[in-house]
Structure 1
Amino acid sequence: MLLQGWLRRASRDKLALLLIALPLLLTGLYFATIAHDRYVSESRVIVKRGSDDRGGSLDLGFLLGGNASTLREDAMLLQQYIHSPDMLARLDKTLDLKQAFAEPAGWDWFYRLPANATREEFLNYYRGRVDVQFDEKTALLVIRSQGFTSRFSQQLNQAILAESERFINELSHKISREDMAFAQKEVDYAYRELSRAREQLLSYQNRHGLIDPHAQAQATGQLVAELEGKQAQLEAELRNLQSYLQSDSPQVIAARNALDALTTQVAREKSKLVSPDDDKLNRKTAQFQEIRAYAEFRTDLYKLALTALEKSKVASAHKLKSLAVISAPQLPEEAEYPRRLYVLGSLLLLCGLLYGTVRLTLSIIEDHKI
């Protein structure tokens, strides 16, 4: 009786029929005859690094949150890739998305992909059917895929996970290859410079006939010191002989000749060490030390480059990323969309508010006419 009374009052109120009954009737007919069920398959994943397996070791970067920040960046990067045209192109090639989102929808033109849809329209439609949510606290990605059949929604989610795994692996390997290539390039450059420095050192040694001018100079300086010691000793002996012998005595002459020969030897050895000429041991020593220091410097750089290459090889293994599936996509048994009761209830509320507003406005206008 109450429903009949409401219908009689509504039949006399054309505004209520227009603003409330008609929208609800059309929406109900759409849900009953045209709307197609849409199923949702959900999965939860996280991007995992090889360096996450640390055992019991402590890492300062991990304690300061650096590792979590990197995982967050990787997850957000994957989120953008899932909604990218590249992902859509690969999924369309694998699952024929245009066919899957068009024919099964029937006459449901609100959610059916148009046959003549442009690439931009196709991308926007795909983004509406695939929802990717990022959890800031856990760095988890929640991937929800829709389909007009439960099986297709699961297949779509599984294909997204497979393509995401490929993307993460390719990205990590690309970064590792770039790091390795850079380190190898530095090693090759350091080796070429080291070889050039060594050749310069060998050329200098061969040109001057000296293995080590510095060692030669030290040996010559030691010899000069010994000769000067003998020279001082002979000078003392000569003065001693001259104190009680004639200057033309055989002993004095022999001592003087020995002293002269030793003095000449000392002068000759000193001339090897220092003189205004360029071809002396002191200048050769300075030149040789400069060339040898450069060769040693290049040797140290080569060692550092080799160490960096080995560290890069070890680090590349820790930088490898993988996609850990926390919750695999399930086969839904019930359709999640359309939410008929929710939509009808919301529509009834909105239409009621609109009806009340229009009715109030009309009443105010009629009151002002009186």
Structure 2
Amino acid sequence: MFKVIKDKVWNSDQKKLRNPILVFVVLPFVCFAIYQVFVASPRYESQAKLIVKEPNSASTLDPALAIMSGFGVSSSNSDVELVKAFIYSNDMLNYLDENIQISQHYSDSVHDIFSRLANDASNESRLEYYLNNVTVEIDEKSQVIALNVQAFDQETAHQLNTAIVNRAEWYINKISQNLAKEQLKFVQQEHELVMNKLHVAKAQLLDFQRRYNLLDPEAEGVALQQITYQLESEIASKTSALRMLRSSMSEDAPMALQAKADLDSLKRQLEVERDRLTNQTSKRGANTEQVESLGVGEILAKFTDYKINLELTLQAYTASQISLEKSRIEAYKQLKYLIVVEAPTLPEDNSYPKVIYNLALFLAVLLMLFGITKIVLATVEELR
């Protein structure tokens, strides 16, 4: 009797074990539920919100130099993308390893084997695990950066989030200062070029004045013109007087001869002055060197060119000096700030694993796979 009952129970158990839904759905679900509820290590998530800002200030460069330099102000979208890329970088992971031994925390043997990082993990595996536990989301409208960091205990999650925020602030400021220093380097080079041009322009003007013994060719040209006008006026007066004398006495009269001699002298002097204005003869400069034969008009034209060149160079030097001083200030001040909108939180409850969600999702996947398998097998059976 006992043997008959035992055989019935055994046959019943074998039938249950051969039940597909029990083997492929119920048993995996029970195993996964045991892991989620009793084995899986809890993970805590610390949250922070950040935004990149820069102080409102006038552009460092003079407009002309700004166009030549090619430097521009980076957009806020570029700044937040830089922050995101740096947080996800190997440099950030190495910094966290050196300062708070984050890899050691993630690979601690007290945590379950499926959740923790392997002790002999490669650099690529460490980075992948880090990226799975750190998320950065950017709001497209407000450009606010949401930083979420997971760890196996509350203090480590908070400490890790704080370290990432501080390092990201250091990075964004370092980038802006490096840009400002490169800008300063460019402005210094341009300033040296402008200074050299100014020295050359001064030297050319002084050499031209020294070569022709001229302090101000413009004033000398005006004076020569006045002398010419005065001589023409005197010639006209002497001509009229000579004509009156000849009408009342002979041409050989002493007074007429003297008047004619004075008139001829004035005409010769007028020719000399006109020649100085139009075609000056060669002469020696202050240091007795032979100089080029130039008229006063040509001298005045060349002097004007040198003077205009000096004035333009002096204006460029003034603008360059202002840009240089502004660049020096910008290079040594904080240009951008990573403002903490929400400080890193200290979590009280674990955020992961989400037991109910994971179990529901796992059961749905099992049922879906089981149903698909049943349909495939039934179709194959019908086709035989």
Instruction: Name the TM-score, length of structure 1 as normaliser.
Output: 0.86
Take 1:75 and 1:259, find their aligned partners in 2: how far apart are those partners? Answer: 90
Take 1:177 and 1:10, find their aligned partners in 2: how far apart are those partners? Answer: 80
2:52 paired residue number? 47
More deviation, 293-302/162-171? 293-302
Matched, 1:336 2:351: yes
Deviation, structure 1 residue 320? 1.5
2:93 paired residue number? 88
Deviation, structure 1 residue 258? 1.6
Matched, 1:11 2:16: yes
Deviation, structure 1 residue 9? 11
The residue matched to 2:75 in structure 1 has which SS? helix
The residue matched to 1:219 in structure 2 has which SS? helix
Q: Is the 8 Å Cα contact of residues 190 and 320 (structure 2) preserved in structure 1?
A: yes
The residue matched to 2:45 in structure 1 has which SS? strand
Q: Amino acid of the residue matched to residue 49 of structure 1? A: E
More deviation, 83-92/299-308? 299-308
Q: Is the 8 Å Cα contact of residues 104 and 148 (structure 1) preserved in structure 2?
A: no
Take 1:92 and 1:358, find their aligned partners in 2: how far apart are those partners? Answer: 47
The partner residue of 1:177 within 167, 176, 181 is: 181
Deviation, structure 1 residue 316? 7.2
Matched, 1:279 2:294: yes
Residues 306 and 259 from structure 1, CA distance in 2 versus in 1: closer, same or farther, beyond 3 angstroms?
A: same
Q: Is the 8 Å Cα contact of residues 198 and 317 (structure 2) preserved in structure 1?
A: yes
Deviation, structure 1 residue 313? 6.4
Instruction: Name the TM-score, length of structure 2 as normaliser.
Output: 0.83
Residues 10 and 325 from structure 1, CA distance in 2 versus in 1: closer, same or farther, beyond 3 angstroms?
A: farther
Residues 52 and 34 from structure 1, CA distance in 2 versus in 1: closer, same or farther, beyond 3 angstroms?
A: farther
Q: Amino acid of the residue matched to residue 296 of structure 2? A: L
More deviation, 244-253/162-171? 244-253
More deviation, 276-285/198-207? 276-285
Q: Is the 8 Å Cα contact of residues 19 and 354 (structure 1) preserved in structure 2?
A: no
The partner residue of 1:186 within 190, 193, 199 is: 190
1:196 paired residue number? 200
Matched, 1:111 2:126: no
Deviation, structure 1 residue 169? 1.3
Q: Amino acid of the residue matched to residue 72 of structure 1? A: N
Take 1:209 and 1:105, find their aligned partners in 2: how far apart are those partners? Answer: 96
Q: Amino acid of the residue matched to residue 122 of structure 2? A: T
1:5-52 Cα deviation digits (max 9, x unpaired): xx9898255312221122113213323453211111011111111119
Matched, 1:132 2:147: no
Q: Is the 8 Å Cα contact of residues 51 and 318 (structure 1) preserved in structure 2?
A: no
Unpaired runs of 5+ residues, structure 2, are 1-11, 59-72, 282-292
The partner residue of 1:211 within 210, 215, 237 is: 215
Q: Amino acid of the residue matched to residue 191 of structure 1? A: M
Take 1:9 and 1:360, find their aligned partners in 2: how far apart are those partners? Answer: 24
Residues 205 and 366 from structure 1, CA distance in 2 versus in 1: closer, same or farther, beyond 3 angstroms?
A: closer
Residues 103 and 318 from structure 1, CA distance in 2 versus in 1: closer, same or farther, beyond 3 angstroms?
A: closer
Take 1:366 and 1:246, find their aligned partners in 2: how far apart are those partners? Answer: 154
2:369 paired residue number? 354
1:233 paired residue number? 237
The residue matched to 1:40 in structure 2 has which SS? strand
Deviation, structure 1 residue 288? 1.6
The residue matched to 2:115 in structure 1 has which SS? coil
1:3 paired residue number? none
2:31 paired residue number? 26
Q: Is the 8 Å Cα contact of residues 200 and 291 (structure 1) preserved in structure 2?
A: yes
Residues 296 and 332 from structure 1, CA distance in 2 versus in 1: closer, same or farther, beyond 3 angstroms?
A: same
Take 1:8 and 1:355, find their aligned partners in 2: how far apart are those partners? Answer: 22
Q: Amino acid of the residue matched to residue 170 of structure 1? A: K
